[in-house]
Amino acid sequence: MKLLDKDQYSKATTLLNEVPFNHMFACDVVTRKIDGLIYADNCDAPSVFYIVHPYGMSLLTGDCENEEFNEQLAGYLLNKGQNRINAEWMQVYPEAWSPLLKRLLGDQLLTKPEKDNGVQISAGKISVEEQTRVNFKFNPAKYAQFKAHHRNKPVEVYRTGEDEFQNMPGTVIPKFFWKDAAQFLEQGVGFSVRSGNKLASTAFSAYIDDHYLEFGIESVEQFRGQGCAKESCVALIDFCLEHGYEPIWACRLENTGSYLLAQLLGFEPVRFLPFYKATP
């Protein structure tokens, strides 16, 4: 695995355009909108790429048959060199990568079928765990039905500013998806909720271009389950509809709260994809 220089990132564009599912986080890295990393099999004429977003999302795409790269990838995912300090959540394309990963990682990969069937694995043995990532499609008619019966929660909903950018706690927060507050305020958008004069939730553009706006949502722990995330998301969906953006939603199937909230707001699941969590 060769770490590409930033001026070589555009070499991943052709393969990236072939990926049929939501990979907007990788687009931000390739276009250098955010400072991620890209590894390849070689720097001159790469045929496989491993694209890492600073949030921890990654995309593996390209040729599956480069044995040298594959061995190095396995070592990276298993963190054999102890160089990776954070978890990474990997999506793969084409699908041929999935059975190959099972061969490369062996019993250090806990597959989704094994997990669902209650297979017992020795503690500390698993380095990579397969979960499921869901891509949704927004249905405006279903959202209109929701809005017709929705009663706004008595909270303050307002445009996300620099203070929320800097101080919103959690993991799915604007500062992990934008270089800095100035970039977010100029190019992105978000809506936050205060409950009892305390910051409770923020829904924001994790990715945005001329046509699409992908949602990032986080709630402060003490306010979870109180409907604050729903209110911030309603404000962001209304912004999308007013300004001509298609709202985009994706989450882990295992994230029950996000999965159910998406459907309540008119998003319909359309793809279920393997999602590999590589632990540090």
Overall CATH class of domain 2-133: alpha beta
Q: How much is the average pLDDT of 11-31?
A: 96
75, pLDDT greater than 80: yes
Q: Are the C-beta atoms of 131 and 254 separated by less than 8 Å?
A: yes
123, pLDDT greater than 60: no
Q: What ranges do the domains of the chain cover?
A: 2-133, 134-271
138-164 pLDDT, tens digit each: 999 999 999 998 887 788 999 999 999
Q: How much is the average pLDDT of 76-89?
A: 90
Q: What is the pLDDT of residue 61?
A: 98
User: Which segments within 87-187 are labelled E, that is strand?
Assistant: 88-93, 109-110, 128-138, 156-159
Q: What is the pTM of this model?
A: 0.92
Architecture of domain 134-271: 3-Layer(aba) Sandwich (3.40)
113, pLDDT greater than 90: no
Structure tokens given for 261: 């909230």
The H or E element containing residue 72 is helix 67-77
Please tell me whether residue 187 adopts helix, strand or coil conformation.
helix
Q: How much is the average pLDDT of 99-110?
A: 93
Please tell me whether residue 97 adopts helix, strand or coil conformation.
helix
83, pLDDT greater than 90: no
- For all residues of the chain together, what is the average pLDDT? 93
| Pairing assessment for the beta strands 88-93 and 109-110 based on DSSP bridges | unpaired
114, pLDDT greater than 80: no
DSSP classification of residue 25 = H
Same fold, 2-133 and 134-271: yes
Give just the sign of the alpha carbon dihedral 1, 52, 79, 251: negative
192, pLDDT greater than 90: yes
Q: What is the pLDDT of residue 119?
A: 65
229-280 pLDDT, tens digit each: 999 999 999 999 999 999 999 999 999 999 999 999 999 999 999 999 999 8
